[in-house]
Amino acid sequence: MEPTGTYGDSLRHQLIERGVPVYRVSPKGVHDAAELYDGVPSLHDAKAAWLIGALHWQGLSQLWQPLSSARREQQALVNLLGYLKARQQRCTNRMEAQLSRHWPEAPLLLKLESTSLMTLIATYGDPVSIAANEEQARELLHRTGKSFLAQDKIEQLLDSARDTLGVPCLEAERLLLQRLAQDQLQTHAQILEQERRIRAQVKQDAPTRNQAEVIGATSSAVLNANVGSALDYDNPASYLKSLGMNLKERSSGKLKGYLALTKRGSSMARRYLYFAALRLIRDDPIVRAWYRRKVERDGGLKLKAIVAVMRKLCKALWHVARGKPFDAERLFDVKRLDLA
CATH of the domain at 128: 1.10.287.4070
Q: Are residues 122 and 40 in the same domain?
A: no
**pTM assigned to the model:** 0.85
What DSSP element (H or E) covers 174? helix 171-202
Q: How many residues does the chain have?
A: 340
Residue 222 maps to a domain: no
Residues 101 and 141 in one domain: yes
* Residue 193 pLDDT exceeds 70: yes
User: What is the C-alpha to C-alpha distance for residues 280 and 117, in angstroms, rounded to an integer?
Assistant: 31
Domain shared by 78 and 61, yes or no: no
CA proximity to 243, closest of 303, 313, 290: 313
Phi-psi region of 252 (alpha: psi -120 to 50; beta: other; left: phi over 0): beta
For the ranges 30-44, 152-166, 324-338, the one whose mean pLDDT is highest: 152-166
Residues 33 and 128 in one domain: no
Judged against a pLDDT cut of 80, whether residue 339 lies above it is answered with: no
pLDDT tens, residue by residue, 212-227:
999 999 999 999 999 9
| Residues spanned by the domain of 26 | 9-66
- DSSP type of residue 253: T
Q: How far apart, in whole angstroms, are the C-alpha atoms of residue 139 and residue 154?
A: 10
